[in-house]
Structure formats: C-alpha cells, structure tokens
Amino acid sequence: MPLEMSPFGCWGLPTALLVLFCCPGSGEGFEVHMYPEQLVVEPGGSKLINCSTSCAQPQTGGLETALTKTLLESGAQWKQYLISNISRDTVIHCYFTCFGNQKLKSLNISVVYPPQQVLLKLQPAWVAVGRSFIVECHVPAVKPLESLTLTLLHGQEALCNKTFARGDDSVREATATHSSTAHREDGHHNFSCHARLDLRSLGGGIVHRVSEPQMLEVYEPRPDNQMVVIISVASVLLLLFVTSVLLCFVLGQHWRQRRMGAYGVQDA
C-alpha cells in the first residue's frame, strides 16, 4: 500500500512546529498589560485605561470595576476605557481569556487632595526688636498627608521643614510653626510657606503650592509712658528727700553754732 502524503507536503514538520510555536493550544504563555500601571486622580476625575494582551486571538476580555466605565475603542488584542467619577481609592482589573485560560492584571487608583490653599500668618504682625513672634503655615485639606512637606521661608532662607507621619486615608489638615526673635533686618524680606506634595510613589508627579507673602513690621522699642511718669515722680521725691535732709543738716549746724556762741558769752 502506498504511503499517504501529509497535507503539509515536504514542509510538514517545520510548518507543524511553527504552528505549535505561534499558536499554542494551552494559552498559558500569554500576558495581560494595563496602562498606566498606577493611577493618581483628584476627586471626581476621569482617566483613560488601556488593556491589552499578547494572545493573538483572545476569546474574551474586558475591565472589571465598580466605577463608571465607557468602552471607547477596541481591537483584537486591546481595549480602551474611560473611567469617570472617581471618588475613592480602589483597584480595577483587566482580564483576557486565551484558549480557555484567563489572566488578569490589577491597577491601583489613588484619589488625592493636593493643597489648594496654603495660608501663612505672622503672630504678631507688628513686633518690637528683641521680642518673639511666630510664623504659622496652615493647609486646610490634603491627602496623602505623609507625602506632604511644608517649608517656612524668610526671603530665600528656609527657616524649617516639616514632614508628617502616615495617618488614615481621610483628608487631613496640616500645620507648621516656627518661633523666632525679631531683628531689624527681618522687615527687609517677606515670609512665605511652600507646600510640596510628592506623589511619585503612587504614579503621579510633584505638586507645588506657595502662600501669599507676608511682611513683618519691626520697630524700635519705645519707653512706656507710664514708666516714664513713675521714674519722674520717683526722681522728684528722691530730690525732695535729699534736699530736706541737707536742709535739716544745715539748720541743725546753724542752731548748734548759735547755741555754742551763747554759752561763750555767759562764761565771759
């Protein structure tokens, strides 16, 4: 009996190997990707999410999330979604099924509150040379707190830097204070506060905010009017006392001399 020829002809073995290599029946070698890999968004924001796979012919694919999602575009190996109305930290998943094997990729979404207001206050704003005053910087709302650094500045000179410990995931307020003694040159430069929120570990950038500059009014201390009056009265009283003592002494000497003179006449 003659041998039956393979449907691939003389290229049967190489072609079969190529088919097995390019289109594996198990589907275990494919991958799922998401872009971006981390996401930072402000409350109520919207972001584009791309899901893709290395599987040539996936059976199913999509995005799992409780957020509002809209499929914008898609191809055989990719899908693009718009995620909107993001209001809380969450995790979303892209998935694809290839030859009955399903894989997924996860993405963390972090909702952040960059500092919108940086408020600076000088207490007091009008101070005498040599007296103490306080520089206070306040941020009403920020998240995450541990990513915030507040820097108090006098001109270009940094007075202090304050970082914050990790707290809960709620929106927090932040305050930095610095106590100093007033000098004449303090009134030559503005005071300001610089807020820096570093979101790079979450997939974002660095947010900068600066307060409105404040000028410290420095004046030379003047004597207190009440103290001047007290010193003047005390000086007058002291002068009167010294004068009365001297007057008593002179009168006493004069009376003594007259008395000694009278005794001398009687003896004669």
Q: What confidence score (pLDDT) does residue 18 get? A: 37
Distance, CA of 127 to CA of 150 (rounded, Å): 24
Q: What confidence score (pLDDT) does residue 15 get? A: 36
Q: What confidence score (pLDDT) does residue 196 get? A: 98
Question: End-to-end CA distance of the chain, in Å?
Answer: 191
Question: Of 27, 110, 26, 102, nearest to 64 (Cα)?
Answer: 102
Using one digit for the tens of pLDDT, what is the confidence trace for 108-134? Answer: 999 999 999 999 999 998 888 989 999
Domains in the chain and their CATH numbers? 32-111 (2.60.40.10), 119-219 (2.60.40.10)
Q: What confidence score (pLDDT) does residue 226 get? A: 60
Q: What confidence score (pLDDT) does residue 4 get? A: 35
Extended beta strands in the chain, E state: 32-35, 38-41, 45-53, 60-64, 68-74, 78-86, 90-98, 101-111, 119-123, 126-128, 132-142, 148-154, 157-163, 172-181, 191-198, 206-210, 217-219
Rounded to two decimals, the pTM is 0.68
Residues of the chain with pLDDT under 50: 1-25, 265, 268
